[in-house]
Amino acid sequence: MGRAVPAVLRALDVLELFGTTEELSIPEIHARLGLPRTTVHEIVGTLVERCYLAPVPGQPHRFRLGVGVFHLGSAYAERLDLAREGQAAAEEVAAACDETVHVAVLEGREVVYVAKVDSTHPVRMVSAVGRRLPAHCTAVGLMLLARLEQRALDTLFPPGRRLAGLTGRSLTTSRQLRERLDAVRADGLAQEYCESNEAVACVAAPVADHTGATVAAMSISVPTVRWSPERATELAGLARQGASALSGRLGHVPAVVAEVADRGETFR
């Protein structure tokens, strides 16, 4: 890749300020970025001319994002494909751990696998893209159910309802499920041990889109012969990283990044 162009970097720095602040004046941009006021004037003027920024009605010396940004964002969103982006992110995680990696979405009381990368080990989980499993029996399902509002959860799993299990370790009552989901919410991660398959353990993390909504979950599945507390901790970290990377591909901006940007700090 070629050398970064300083003028373009400065223009992008200006635009990125508006990702967390609705309106800014040239003095405020100058204060946050430390750029010369003349440079800020030139950058803002150019961005206004190209419709990436626009003056605030009635306040011509204050600016906000323009329609040009909307057009670019809409074009990007239209081209997003969860399955494609999920496959790419899953391949990166699988390369790091050499275990089976899935990306799944929630459909009713079931999860549907939309992306999968197999382990190269002789002993591995057998599954397929498009396969459906009861959500309450899987780590990806538990992760996704934990992000539902209470009313939606009660509709899918009414209190007192008996749940069908896949193994002797599967959750079988609504009460067990709710207790488990409380733990998942507290940890921000879901794990299951032999609940969907008697010989497989799994860990999953949430995937968010550009709105911040949880739209999928990424899991790493491991035969119990390769599972241990140490391995679980390692894979939990990889699942979080992979899910975060996929979220980024879908346009999600982590809260900590937004907070830092709002304070005028930069990672450059």
Left (φ > 0), alpha (ψ -120 to 50) or beta: where does 147 sit?
Answer: alpha
pLDDT at 261: 42
User: Is 1.10.10.10 the CATH number for 6-77?
Assistant: yes
The pLDDT assigned to 232 comes to: 93
The two three-digit tokens of residue 133, written as one number: 């499993």
What pLDDT, in 10s, does the model give residues 73-128? 767 666 567 888 999 999 999 999 999 999 999 989 999 998 999 888 765 565 66
User: Which residues of the chain does CATH 3.30.450.40 include?
Assistant: 82-250
State yes or no: pLDDT of 133 exceeds 80: yes
Mean pLDDT of the chain: 87
Percent of the chain scoring above 70 in pLDDT: 89
What's the token pair of residue 195?
Answer: 């609940």
Rounded to whole angstroms, the Cα distance separating 31 from 63 reads 15
Tokens of 147: 């992000």
- Per-residue pLDDT for 257 more than 50? no
Question: Mean of the pLDDT values across residues 216-222?
Answer: 95
Is residue 207 within 8 A of residue 246, CB to CB? The reply is yes
What are the DSSP calls for 86-145, one per residue?
HHHHHHHHHHHH-SEEEEEEEETTEEEEEEEE--SSSS-----TT-EEEGGGSHHHHHHH
Compute the distance between CA of residue 222 and CA of residue 196 in angstroms, rounded to an integer: 12
Cα-based distances in Å from 56 to 14, 22, 24, 36: 16, 10, 9, 22
Q: Assess whether pLDDT exceeds 90 at residue 4.
A: no
* Arithmetic mean of pLDDT, 123-137: 77
Averaged pLDDT, 2-21: 88
Q: At what angle do helices 37-49 and 6-17 cross, to 10 degrees?
A: 80
**pLDDT of the residue at 254:** 78
Three-class SS state of 198: coil
pLDDT band at 264 (very low <50, low <70, confident <90, very high): very low
Both tokens of residue 105?
């979405």
34-60 pLDDT, tens per residue? Answer: 999 999 999 999 999 999 999 999 898
Which residue did the predictor score with more confidence, 223 or 254?
A: 223
- In this prediction, residue 125 carries a pLDDT of 60
pLDDT at 20 over 90: no
What is the per-residue pLDDT for 50? 93
In this prediction, residues 154-161 reach a mean pLDDT of 90
CATH fold for domain 82-250: Beta-Lactamase (3.30.450)
Give the distance from CA 56 to its chain's centroid.
32
Structure-token match 């508006």, residue found: 18
pTM over 0.85: no
CATH 1.10.10.10 domain residues, the chain: 6-77
Categorize the per-residue pLDDT at 267 as very low, low, confident or very high, splitting at 50, 70 and 90: very low
pLDDT of residue 243: 96
CB 223 within 8 A of CB 199: yes
